[in-house]
Amino acid sequence: MKKFSTRLIDWHDKYGRQDLPWQTGKSPYKVWISEIMLQQTQVTTVIPYFNKFLLRFPNIEKLAESELDEVMSYWSGLGYYSRARNLYKAALEITCKHKSKLPNSYNELVALPGIGKTTAGAILALGFQKKAAILDGNVKRVLTRHRKIETDLSKSSTLKKLWKLSELLLPDVRIDTYTQAIMDLGAIVCKKKSPLCEICPVNKDCLALKANLVDCLPVKRKIKTKTTKHVHWLIPYSHKGRFLLQKRLNKGLWEGLWVFIEKEKEEMLKKECKSIFQIKDPSLIQIKKVKHSFSHFNLEAIPYLVKIKEKKSIKNTVWVDSKNIESLGIPSPVKKTIKEIRVP
């Protein structure tokens, strides 16, 4: 029987994904951008964002020369915005310390903001054709099933075992093809649900398949029920039909993005009207409730409109309309709400 890596490479040559946008004119930079975007995000979702991002930021120099606000605007809707912030920070660091070129050593890569072991391994293997292991969700699933690893993925001992196995299986040749192959195998064949074991290139020695445990692996601790965060949004609007957004300065999910003024209670919004806009008795108009699901919690927001005069001196705010909404870093629930508002 051929080696595990050889079978995967042979399979990928026939059936693997070979026309993804980051595979065309492959470069370490393209691999880096794609790997960051693909973290906890589906390939089909990433492709249009990747293409648009690369048109505006074709290299590290262009990315580092830009402003964070603009980078965030190109990330708007993709979620997990800390990825974009770290990407920008890393570009600045690469420009200063590495002459605008991605380093090709593991230690230098993991020292950059937002780059962990798997991302570093992917950049080395796919971008530089250097022997390096990865352990993303697809690879974890392939390895735990193939070797029938029945311990919980959340345990450090399990991850340590999987890293060791991932490194052990690396081939000496065509490391880039093998790396793409094992990711593709997990995405196309060894799927989370309804895996296609009958066409798997490594099914002959898959221990989980022999033990009829494929659907039981990998073992993951039960995910806690999502909590719901209830908030109130203040949406100031002007006679011009424009809306006032505030830059989120505090740490958190939407740090650095343009959002509505957010408070826990309606009364707190009225206080904001008095302190920021000098409106003594604000007339708030409640509109349709906004619901949005994040990976770890659900959001329910009750938006309130309030008409104010446009002022230029309010710190960390910006007036938006349909013309400039796409040029700013605005989270999708906020952007969607603005587009749906019908001003009284």
Contact (CB, 8 A) for 232 and 302: yes
Across the range 189-215, mean pLDDT stands at 97
Across the range 132-158, mean pLDDT stands at 97
C-alpha 290: how far from its chain's center?
22
Phi/psi at 304 (nearest 5 deg)? Answer: -130, 130
Distance CA 119, CA 110 (A): 8
**Per residue in 47-93, pLDDT tens?**
999 999 999 999 999 999 999 999 999 999 999 999 999 999 999 99
3-state secondary structure of 216: helix
Query: H or E stretch including 210?
Result: helix 207-210
* Percentage with pLDDT > 70 across the chain: 99
Q: Is 35 part of the annotated catalytic residue set? A: yes
3-state secondary structure of 306: strand
Phi/psi at 175 (nearest 5 deg)? Answer: -65, -35
Across the range 134-147, mean pLDDT stands at 98
Phi/psi at 76 (nearest 5 deg)? Answer: -55, 125
**How many other C-beta atoms can be found within 10 angstroms of the C-beta atom of residue 314?**
15
pTM of the model: 0.91
Q: What's the pLDDT score for residue 312?
A: 66
pLDDT of residue 324 exceeding 70, the answer is yes
C-alpha 194: how far from its chain's center?
25
**Per residue in 228-284, pLDDT tens?**
999 999 999 999 999 999 999 988 889 999 999 999 999 999 999 999 999 988 999
Across the range 110-119, mean pLDDT stands at 98
Domains recognised in the chain with CATH numbers: 4-216 (1.10.340.30), 227-340 (3.90.79.10)
pLDDT of residue 332 exceeding 80, the answer is yes
The whole-chain average pLDDT of the chain stands at 95
Of residues 80, 218, 113, the one with CA closest to residue 155: 218
pLDDT of residue 20 exceeding 80, the answer is yes
* Percentage with pLDDT > 90 across the chain: 88
pLDDT of residue 297 exceeding 90, the answer is yes
Tokens representing 200 are 């798997």
pLDDT of residue 328 exceeding 90, the answer is yes
Q: What's the pLDDT score for residue 261?
A: 96
Q: How confident is the model at residue 38 (pLDDT cuts 50, 70, 90)?
A: very high
C-alpha 307: how far from its chain's center?
36
Q: What's the pLDDT score for residue 42?
A: 93
**Which sign, positive or negative, has the C-alpha torsion 323, 329, 335, 341?**
negative
Of residues 200, 217, 195, the one with CA closest to residue 208: 217
Query: H or E stretch including 247?
Result: strand 243-247
Among candidate residues 35, 61, 198, 310, the one labeled active-site is 35
